[in-house]
């Protein structure tokens, strides 16, 4: 029972840290592309050090897995870029709520990989989620920055969904730290091509924030998250993970003074509630 309680606390802490990542889209005065590149590089170093200290295997089991790791790394890299960009164009609350359409997108897309059609209830859930997202839009115009942020956040959710499905079916034999090591290496190696800011141009504040987001808010929660499955059910982990939009919104209110309006709150309730319900149903079906 003690181990279970410790795992629940560890899970909440890791979800809180994942949520805090969103704040760095506003705190670091760099383009989303540059933030992601530096974040991935720092996270890769931290994860590599962790695996070495833990005396865990670094190499992958099969040559084919390296090709899968490259694809996963590309998906993660562009998911992070769009994740930060969506919040830079809108707000942390709006961006992360729109991004949290990914549980429903997952339920709609995953059956297609098994040559099945989504269920009617899942399609209905998708309509509720996208209605909630629609409520947050000030106007349905591509020229509006908030609308752009929402659409880019939905793209981020799609990329994250594809990454998760690929990981589940082709890369689940590796631990979270091991898998993220290769994904962050690939992401930083690819994104460095379009880097606008040279490392020598970074201010000390930006360097410290990048080290913080790459270690404490990326490598650490991934290491913590991987360990909670020993004592907790997948359902518990999935449901507590749905707390991310709430945690991120509270942090944005406290640290950035970004107070959501009633439309954002209502849209967020629709999106997160639907995500929780769909997560519970999907977990019951898998069990």
CB of 28 closer than 8 Å to CB of 210: yes
The count of domains in the chain is 1
CB of 85 closer than 8 Å to CB of 148: no
Identify the band that residue 108 occupies on the pLDDT scale cut at 50, 70 and 90: confident
Domain region containing 236 = 2-286
Q: Give the pLDDT confidence of 276-286 residue by residue, as tens digits.
A: 777 676 656 55
The whole-chain average pLDDT of the chain stands at: 87
Q: Give the pLDDT confidence of 258-274 residue by residue, as tens digits.
A: 999 888 999 889 888 88
Neighbours of 197 (CB within 10 A): 16
pLDDT for 188 beyond 80: yes
**First and final C-alpha spacing in the chain:** 22
CA-CA distance, 18 to 29, in Å (whole number)? 20
pLDDT for 181: 94
Q: Give the pLDDT confidence of 9-21 residue by residue, as tens digits.
A: 888 888 899 999 9
CA-CA distance, 176 to 258, in Å (whole number)? 32
Contacts of 274 (CB under 8 A, 6+ apart): 104, 125, 128, 129, 132
CA-CA distance, 98 to 92, in Å (whole number)? 10
């Amino acid at each position: 029972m003690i181990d279970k309680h410790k795992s629940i606390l560890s899970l909440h802490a890791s979800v809180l840290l994942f949520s805090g990542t969103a704040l760095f889209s506003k705190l670091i005065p760099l383009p989303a592309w540059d933030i992601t590149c530096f974040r991935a590089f720092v996270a890769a170093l931290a994860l590599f050090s962790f695996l070495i200290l833990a005396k865990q295997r670094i190499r992958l089991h099969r040559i084919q897995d390296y090709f899968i790791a490259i694809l996963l790394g590309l998906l993660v890299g562009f998911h992070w870029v769009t994740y930060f960009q969506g919040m830079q164009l809108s707000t942390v609350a709006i961006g992360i709520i729109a991004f949290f359409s990914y549980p429903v997108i997952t339920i709609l897309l995953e059956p297609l990989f098994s040559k099945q059609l989504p269920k009617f209830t899942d399609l209905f859930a998708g309509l509720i989620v996208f209605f909630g997202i629609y409520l947050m839009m000030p106007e349905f115009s591509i020229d509006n920055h908030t609308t752009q942020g929402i659409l880019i956040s939905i793209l981020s959710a799609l990329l994250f969904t594809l990454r998760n499905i690929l990981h589940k079916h082709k890369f689940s034999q590796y631990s979270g730290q091991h898998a993220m090591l290769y994904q962050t290496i690939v992401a930083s190696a690819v994104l460095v091509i379009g880097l606008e800011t040279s490392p020598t141009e970074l201010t000390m504040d930006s360097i410290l924030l990048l080290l913080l987001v790459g270690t404490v808010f990326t490598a650490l929660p991934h290491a913590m998250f991987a360990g909670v499955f020993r004592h907790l059910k997948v359902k518990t982990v999935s449901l507590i993970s749905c707390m991310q939009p709430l945690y991120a919104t509270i942090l944005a209110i406290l640290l950035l003074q970004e107070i959501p309006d009633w439309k954002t709150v209502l849209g967020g309730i629709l999106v997160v509630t639907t995500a929780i319900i769909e997560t519970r149903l999907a977990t019951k079906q898998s069990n």
